C-alpha cells in the first residue's frame, strides 16, 4: 500500500517528526483503588468476577473484556452519564418504597422502622460484612485526611500497574486483581492542578492481610461503610474505622458529594463502587 500524505503533503514519519506536543496542555494522571474485604471469601463475588479478573491480567484481551462487559450490562460505569443513570435507578427504587433502604456492606437492605432523618442498616451475618481500605495522607494536600490508596502514573506503566504499585507501597497489600470502575476528570478535583484519575475496584479476604502504611500514607485502616438515604432529596455515606466516623452528603442521586470528610472527590468514587457492587450481587 502506498504511503499516504496529509493535507499538508506530509508522510506520517514527517508529520510525527514535526509534531509539537506542547500545543495541547496535558493533565497529570493518577490511579486510585477501592479495595473491599470480607472476613471470609465471598463466593458470589468470586463467581461473578472470574471472567473479568482473568481478562484484566492480560492486557491483550482488554478489548474483548470490555465488549463482554458491555454486552452483559445495561449500563457502563466508565462515564459519569451512565453512572448517573444507574444511581438514578437505585434512588427511584428507594423512593418508591415506604421502607428505609440503605446500601450497607455492599448489600441492598431494608429497615422497616428507619427514622425519617436517617437510616441504619446492619448486616446480620458478621462473616459477610464488607469493609473498605483507606489511608491517612501523610503530606499535602489534604494532609491528615483519609483517602483511597493511589498515586501518579510513572513512565512506562499502565494504569493498572500504577494502581497495584501504589496499593502495595501505601498499604502493603499485593496480589490483588483489579477491575476498572470509572475515570474521573472533574475540573478542579485536585488542588495541585489538572488531574485525571482512573479508579479501580477489587475485593479480597482480610484473612492473612497485614496492613503496613508507608510512602504517602501515615496510616492504613479498614472502614465499615453505609450509603443511605437521609431524606427525600439527599443521601449520606458513612464510614467508621480507626476510631473515627467520616461522612459525605450527596444530593439525589448519590454521585457528586456536596460535603465530605474525605480527601479529594474520593467519597464520589466510593459511592460509585458501592453501587456497582450492589448491582453485581
Based on the number of CB atoms within 10 Å of its own CB, is 209 exposed (0-12), middle (13-18) or buried (19 or more)? middle
The sign one gets for the Cα dihedral 224, 225, 231, 234 is positive
- Asked if residue 33 lies in contact with residue 202, where contact means CB atoms within 8 angstroms, the answer is yes
- Helix then strand then coil, in percent of the chain rounded to 5, is 30, 30, 40
Look at the block and give the residue holding cell 460509585: 272
Q: Please say if 40 is a catalytic residue.
A: no
**Catalytic: which of 14, 157, 169, 219?**
219
- 241, 224 Cβ separation under 8 angstroms: yes
Contacts of 85 (CB under 8 A, 6+ apart): 75
What phi, psi does 233 have (nearest 5°)?
A: -125, 5
Element (H, E) at 163: helix 159-171
| Number of Cβ within a 10 Å radius of residue 118 | 15
Count of beta carbons in the 10 Å neighbourhood of residue 181: 23
> With contact defined as beta carbons under 8 Å apart, do 151 and 197 qualify?
no
Instruction: Label the pairing between strands 195-205 and 28-38.
Output: parallel
The 3-state DSSP class for residue 208 equals coil
Residues labelled catalytic: 219
Amino acid at each position: 500500500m502506498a504511503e499516504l500524505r496529509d493535507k499538508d503533503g506530509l508522510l506520517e514519519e514527517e508529520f510525527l517528526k514535526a509534531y509539537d506536543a506542547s500545543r495541547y496542555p496535558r493533565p497529570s494522571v493518577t490511579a486510585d483503588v477501592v479495595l473491599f474485604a470480607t472476613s471470609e471469601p465471598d463466593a458470589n463475588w468470586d463467581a461473578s468476577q472470574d471472567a473479568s479478573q482473568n481478562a484484566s491480567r492480560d492486557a491483550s484481551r482488554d478489548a474483548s473484556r470490555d465488549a463482554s462487559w458491555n454486552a452483559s450490562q445495561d449500563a457502563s460505569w466508565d462515564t459519569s452519564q451512565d453512572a448517573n443513570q444507574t444511581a438514578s435507578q437505585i434512588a427511584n427504587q428507594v423512593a418508591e418504597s415506604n421502607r428505609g433502604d440503605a446500601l450497607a456492606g455492599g448489600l441492598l437492605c431494608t429497615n422497616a422502622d428507619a427514622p425519617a432523618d436517617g437510616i441504619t442498616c446492619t448486616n446480620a451475618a458478621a462473616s459477610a460484612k464488607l469493609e473498605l481500605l483507606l489511608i491517612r495522607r501523610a503530606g499535602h494536600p489534604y494532609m491528615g485526611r483519609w483517602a483511597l490508596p493511589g498515586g501518579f502514573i510513572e513512565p512506562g506503566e499502565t494504569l493498572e500497574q500504577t494502581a497495584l504499585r501504589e496499593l502495595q507501597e501505601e498499604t502493603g497489600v499485593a496480589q490483588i486483581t483489579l477491575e476498572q470502575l470509572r475515570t474521573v476528570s472533574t475540573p478542579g478535583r485536585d488542588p495541585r492542578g489538572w488531574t485525571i484519575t482512573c479508579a479501580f475496584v477489587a475485593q479480597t479476604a482480610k484473612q492473612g492481610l497485614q496492613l503496613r502504611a508507608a510512602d504517602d500514607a501515615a496510616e492504613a485502616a479498614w472502614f465499615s461503610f453505609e450509603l443511605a438515604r437521609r431524606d427525600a432529596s439527599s443521601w449520606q455515606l458513612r464510614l467508621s474505622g480507626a476510631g473515627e466516623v467520616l461522612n459525605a452528603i450527596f444530593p439525589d442521586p448519590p454521585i457528586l458529594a456536596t460535603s465530605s470528610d474525605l480527601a479529594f472527590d474520593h467519597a464520589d468514587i466510593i459511592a460509585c463502587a458501592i453501587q456497582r457492587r450492589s448491582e453485581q450481587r
